[in-house]
Structure 1
């Protein structure tokens, strides 16, 4: 049954003498786990992306060690660049909906499949099928295609069809997070979320994209660590609910593919079930694959004990093992075809045409929600100011914006402020903004594994509120949650990119300087300020 276990790795190449390598050796050689998932290291708040060749070397070593070929997964929601340095920098899913471009979503699925297979990844844990209709959702947000279930379904199916379109690069895809994580306000990494919706509402909203995904060949569905009282009266996560997984997903939605849990090291499940209990309960509920149990060996022991005691039947576990083995055969994983061609990686990653298409999506996604006094595009960039607000002093966000601005307006005053600074220090660092012709303020608030909010951190909120009340007009540029405008009603203009990718930073600057027409439409409602579909259409400047 160890074939049902997927363990986490970081995609680097540790020494065979290191404790880390010996851990993987034990998992693969001794325990015979079914696969690995590549995740990112986070050090001092900074994400470290895997170097593609080092990652492939590591995966090859693991495959050579494996008696049964390993299936390798990756959360490539916005392409391989979400986890690996050098992949095509696609923007977040909500940007594709703002650009109203399902064809681009299809293209993203195709490119992601090709890049994934070049790296040794066979299972793409995407697309996100959640309908984000809760502005307070701290874990989905711009990972979703928006609040319209029909639009979400359209993009979900486009992604799946794109990922499956090249027979030379077969991959598995996974619609997530079942039965729909969009209308929740708790981060399931930190606690168990709850979906307060009737079965009728779920049929009309949450379940629509999943039905579409299943109809269009989704290979797997990932569960959500949230309670669903309309389906399961017991206060337990959907991940361990037979009523949700077997009754609803297998029964009513007639899904025949792989059911994979969300990561079993998340507090949404560990807060209630310790040790290997979550793994046993997930299999009892109908799950096939146990993703990232905190201790794979403990999970295996717990499942074996459950079989021996009669709590789990051998037949039930064998059904899941057969699904996993069939999936491995489907993607061409055989003992003779399980290694990555290291020389081919650079030829596949980040092709120029994909880069260009990713930038086009980011450009077309930029949405102008408010523009008092026609402050956008900036009339006098050199006499305007740029204020970059980031959560941490060391941040990967904002640098591309600063570089692009300085190319265009070398005299523009730039201040980078982070949430660790107290209010007085923020004001001092920003300087005398009253002399700015206009102030462009960029923010990067998005879903995070470690936060239960999508608000600005520290004193950044009060600082920005005071800035918008000053004499200089403020252009608030949200490169993350589009809902941020509701907290700053005095901003003169409001631009949303729905993404913090580098392509979106470039697009934001191009929009501010009038280099591109602004044509995006809101894929969500901003309560009290803007409706779904709104977007002020602005032509590019004529030179």
Structure 2
């Protein structure tokens, strides 16, 4: 038959008969395929429901949304710990007699896998408004790799027990690279962020008045238990200011252990021992260089302390030096004030002479140094956020506090990046801070060394 020759009538009839005969089979095949597709969709939907029930509805509404349920492996692809742990395992199995990783070796391994943005994110401590995990918080954690979260009841972060536990759980699940520290300034007394949840806890002045080392240690242990129950691992306490001014905010709010450096050292040391005994919570000494004689609150202004260096060493700095020598201190917060005897030009939180010169070199402190909030009037009235952030890191701080939105985080990070790009800051200086921060996280149980 030629290619274009029409079918004869007989052949046409046979073709029509074949099509009619095959038509039911054709539709049956289409129906079968449709049923297979529907069954597949139902299986996917069932798996989705099961996964959702395991993770909780809050995970769906988190920064990762539906991707956290449909593609959990993609959501966690930025989590570097599995990659690092596997790399460490491979390295060690290639050498039969190689010893287990030390904490410092493990931290060095982590740092070697971090990008610059991830490193800088570890140096940020942020706050946020609201009782639930939010888009803004998701952005700070995952876009800017923020490594430290500060909770405040004044920001609406603390409503009830179940809400707080859910919030901290969502924060931990959503962090893309490394586990975050979650902080609270739980001093007791007038600074008792958990009072509506657990009832009142005594102030430092009340603890100090007992002169009981055992009582101070017991309150420290109780505070750690309170914090741990809510997933909080960093306490911005105790206050180790020596109360020397009856007109100061610290005195009036009963926020100090006593009026002598010896009493403050004894009581703060016992409290800190109790707080850190479980190795799940790390305490933070504050407010270096000392607000015990300050008549101005750094929240509203910039105080000036006119004491000589010898007077500061004998009074305000004595608790820091003694507790550092005892090996109890993992973190110190630096406040904003002028100390002309050491640095007549820069406030303490931005002063290399105080942060590096006194804390690092003279006292030998190698733990984490963090600023108090850079948004306080004592700093914000004189420096822009990007300037303050860069100067604080240049001065020697490891963590900068104050940002409360993704835009504010970006502004502070840009100030640090500009200092790096111009050579004012060196990458090695950033690595030093990140190592200290990760060691602190190891000490609070967030970075266990993988088993060999």
Is the TM value for this pair above 0.5? yes
Query: Between Structure 1 and Structure 2, which shows a larger proportion of strand residues?
Result: 1
Q: Give matches, 1:205-244, under 5 Å.
A: 205-216=315-326, 217-234=328-345, 236-244=346-354
1:163 paired with 2:275, answer yes
Which consecutive unaligned segments of at least 5 residues does structure 1 have? 15-20, 338-543
Q: CA 1:80 to 1:115, structure 2 compared with 1: closer, same or farther past 3 Å? A: farther
1:523: which partner in 2? none
State which drifts further: 124-133 or 208-217.
208-217
Cα distance, 1:9 vs structure 2: 3.4
User: Is this contact kept in 2: 1:276–1:303, CA < 8 A?
Assistant: yes
Residues 62-118 of structure 1: per-residue CA shift (max 9 Å, x gap): 221112111111101128981123225212111112222232111111111121111
1:6: which partner in 2? 125
Alignment partners' CA distance in 2, 1:155 and 1:212: 12
Cα distance, 1:11 vs structure 2: 6.8
Aligned residue among 299, 310, 314 for 1:189: 299
Cα distance, 1:285 vs structure 2: 0.4
User: Is this contact kept in 2: 1:77–1:93, CA < 8 A?
Assistant: yes
> Which aligned segments of 4 or more residues in structure 1 are displaced greater than 3 angstroms?
47-50, 334-337
Number of aligned residue pairs:
324
Residues 482-536 of structure 1: per-residue CA shift (max 9 Å, x gap): xxxxxxxxxxxxxxxxxxxxxxxxxxxxxxxxxxxxxxxxxxxxxxxxxxxxxxx
Q: Match of 2:197, SS?
A: coil
Residues 201-223 of structure 1: per-residue CA shift (max 9 Å, x gap): 11111111111221231111100
1:99 paired with 2:210, answer yes
Aligned residue among 36, 51, 60 for 2:160: 51
Q: Match of 1:76, SS?
A: coil
Q: RMSD value over aligned CA atoms? A: 2.2
Residues 174-199 of structure 1: per-residue CA shift (max 9 Å, x gap): 11001111101001100111111011
Q: Match of 1:31, SS?
A: coil
1:248 paired with 2:361, answer no
1:151 paired with 2:263, answer yes
Q: Match of 1:82, SS?
A: coil
Cα distance, 1:148 vs structure 2: 1.3
Ranked by relative contact order (alpha carbons within 8 Å, sequence separation 6 or more), the top structure is: 1
Q: CA 1:48 to 1:220, structure 2 compared with 1: closer, same or farther past 3 Å? A: closer
Alignment partners' CA distance in 1, 2:426 and 2:157: 42
Q: Match of 2:137, SS?
A: helix
Residues 101-136 of structure 1: per-residue CA shift (max 9 Å, x gap): 232111111111121111111111111000110112
Q: CA 1:156 to 1:10, structure 2 compared with 1: closer, same or farther past 3 Å? A: farther
Cα distance, 1:154 vs structure 2: 0.7
Q: Match of 1:27, SS?
A: helix
Q: So what's the TM-score if we normalise by structure 2?
A: 0.68
Q: CA 1:319 to 1:72, structure 2 compared with 1: closer, same or farther past 3 Å? A: same
Alignment partners' CA distance in 2, 1:11 and 1:103: 38
Query: Between Structure 1 and Structure 2, which shows a larger proportion of helix residues?
Result: 2
User: Is this contact kept in 1: 2:129–2:157, CA < 8 A?
Assistant: no
1:257 paired with 2:392, answer no
Q: So what's the TM-score if we normalise by structure 1?
A: 0.57
2:84: which partner in 1? none
Alignment partners' CA distance in 1, 2:338 and 2:358: 14
Residues 221-276 of structure 1: per-residue CA shift (max 9 Å, x gap): 10011011111121x21100000000001011110100011111111111111121
Q: Give matches, 1:298-309, under 5 Å.
A: 298-309=411-422
Alignment partners' CA distance in 2, 1:99 and 1:11: 38
Q: Match of 1:143, SS?
A: coil
Which consecutive unaligned segments of at least 5 residues does structure 2 have? 1-119
Cα distance, 1:29 vs structure 2: 1.4
Q: Give matches, 1:10-29, under 5 Å.
A: 12-13=131-132, 21-29=134-142
User: Is this contact kept in 2: 1:102–1:158, CA < 8 A?
Assistant: yes
1:327: which partner in 2? 440
2:24: which partner in 1? none
Cα distance, 1:166 vs structure 2: 2.7
1:61 paired with 2:196, answer no
User: Is this contact kept in 1: 2:356–2:395, CA < 8 A?
Assistant: yes
Q: Match of 1:327, SS?
A: helix
Cα distance, 1:10 vs structure 2: 5.2
Q: Match of 1:304, SS?
A: helix
Alignment partners' CA distance in 1, 2:448 and 2:141: 15
User: Is this contact kept in 2: 1:11–1:39, CA < 8 A?
Assistant: no
User: Is this contact kept in 2: 1:196–1:228, CA < 8 A?
Assistant: yes
Q: Match of 1:72, SS?
A: strand
Cα distance, 1:311 vs structure 2: 1.1
Cα distance, 1:332 vs structure 2: 1.6
Q: CA 1:207 to 1:63, structure 2 compared with 1: closer, same or farther past 3 Å? A: same
